[in-house]
């Protein structure tokens, strides 16, 4: 009995701590959301008022009043979706190859892929830009998508996940005369859904939020992605005189990602925790 009561108090303490942490983490988001409904002129004087007047929808109307914002959103969707799809295909194929097949130089090649994890994006951005300039591909979706496909993280994640799948399953399929490709598509890939979801979500998030590469690759306003386009509308001192507008941009740009998370959160949690989706 004592043990049960002790456990209940322990659970309550843990729950209390988790709730407190959640409040701390969510508070800045709530603040951003609240400030997005405040007039810029009001926020130049104070930013410590959240839920009392004045309120305004002007910041959002200003975003929607920018005719290009829908084009930018579509651009971001195209880039993020295609990049995610391509990444999942390539990383899955590469990961299965590293996990299950044998070929000369496999270990060296895997090492080279892993070494790519240590190279920051900024270190290669200049030669990357020059390559695409020589190919005359800037201001195209190809330039926005292709460079992002060569990221080692996806290959590494899928390789490790495939390695963790018991070989018995594949061997059973092989006994039924299934080809390697058939095993991959019919047996292994469906089992890797949590990893696919994790990689897909992270790739989508990264693609959606990407700023640096689109900044220097998409110089024509009609090719801007949403992050780049919204940033371009900020005045020179937006951080001091356009705070409400800045906050509304953050909410607007983050909304699709938030909605995506609502639909796929169980896969994200499963992928992060390593537990299967029920």
In the complex, the residues that contact another protein under the rule CB under 8 A are: 41, 44-47, 61-68, 129-130, 132-133, 138-139, 215-217, 219-221, 231-243
Instruction: Please report how close the Cβ of residue 216 comes to another protein at its closest, in angstroms.
Output: 4
Please identify, using beta-carbon distances, which residue of 26 and 133 lies nearer to another protein.
133
Cα separation, 170 vs 144, in Å, equals 37
Please identify, using beta-carbon distances, which residue of 180 and 233 lies nearer to another protein.
233
Instruction: Please report how close the Cβ of residue 247 comes to another protein at its closest, in angstroms.
Output: 12
Instruction: Please report how close the Cβ of residue 60 comes to another protein at its closest, in angstroms.
Output: 10
Please identify, using beta-carbon distances, which residue of 162 and 224 lies nearer to another protein.
224
Cα separation, 249 vs 234, in Å, equals 9
Please identify, using beta-carbon distances, which residue of 22 and 74 lies nearer to another protein.
74
* Contact criterion met (CB below 8 Å) for 219 and 132: no
b/e per residue 199-216 (b: at least 16 CB within 10 A):
bbbbbbbbbbebeebbeb
> How many residues are there in the chain?
278
Instruction: Please report how close the Cβ of residue 150 comes to another protein at its closest, in angstroms.
Output: 20
Q: Which residues contact 256 (CB under 8 A, 6 or more apart)?
A: 73, 76, 77, 208
Instruction: Please report how close the Cβ of residue 134 comes to another protein at its closest, in angstroms.
Output: 9
Please identify, using beta-carbon distances, which residue of 152 and 244 lies nearer to another protein.
244
Cα separation, 63 vs 61, in Å, equals 5
Please identify, using beta-carbon distances, which residue of 113 and 223 lies nearer to another protein.
223
CA-based nearest residue to 249, from 35, 50, 20, 27: 35
Helices (H), 176-242: 180-183, 189-191, 193-209, 212-217, 226-232, 238-241
Instruction: Please report how close the Cβ of residue 73 comes to another protein at its closest, in angstroms.
Output: 15
């Amino acid at each position: 009995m004592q043990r049960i009561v002790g456990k209940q108090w322990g659970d309550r303490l843990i729950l209390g701590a988790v709730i407190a942490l959640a409040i701390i983490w969510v508070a800045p988001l709530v603040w951003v959301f609240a400030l997005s409904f405040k007039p810029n002129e009001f926020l130049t004087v104070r930013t410590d008022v959240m839920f009392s007047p004045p309120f305004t929808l002007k910041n959002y109307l200003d975003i929607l009043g920018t005719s290009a914002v829908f084009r930018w959103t579509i651009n971001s969707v195209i880039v993020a979706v295609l990049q995610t799809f391509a990444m999942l295909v390539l990383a899955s194929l590469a990961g299965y190859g590293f996990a299950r097949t044998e070929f000369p130089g496999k270990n060296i090649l895997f090492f080279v892929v892993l070494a790519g994890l240590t190279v920051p994006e900024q270190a290669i951005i200049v030669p990357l830009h020059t390559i695409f300039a020589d190919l005359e591909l800037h201001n195209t979706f190809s330039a926005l998508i292709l460079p992002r496909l060569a990221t080692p993280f996806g290959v590494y994640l899928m390789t490790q996940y495939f390695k963790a799948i018991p070989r018995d399953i594949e061997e059973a399929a092989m006994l039924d005369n299934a080809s390697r490709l058939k095993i991959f598509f019919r047996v292994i890939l469906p089992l890797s859904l949590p990893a696919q979801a994790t990689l897909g979500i992270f790739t989508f998030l990264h693609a959606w939020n990407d700023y640096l590469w689109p900044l220097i690759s998409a110089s024509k306003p009609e090719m801007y992605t949403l992050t780049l386009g919204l940033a371009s509308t900020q005045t020179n001192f937006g951080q001091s005189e356009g705070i409400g507008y800045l906050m509304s941009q953050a909410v607007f740009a983050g909304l699709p990602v938030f909605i995506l998370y609502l639909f796929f959160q169980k896969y994200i949690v499963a992928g992060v925790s390593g537990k299967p989706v029920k």
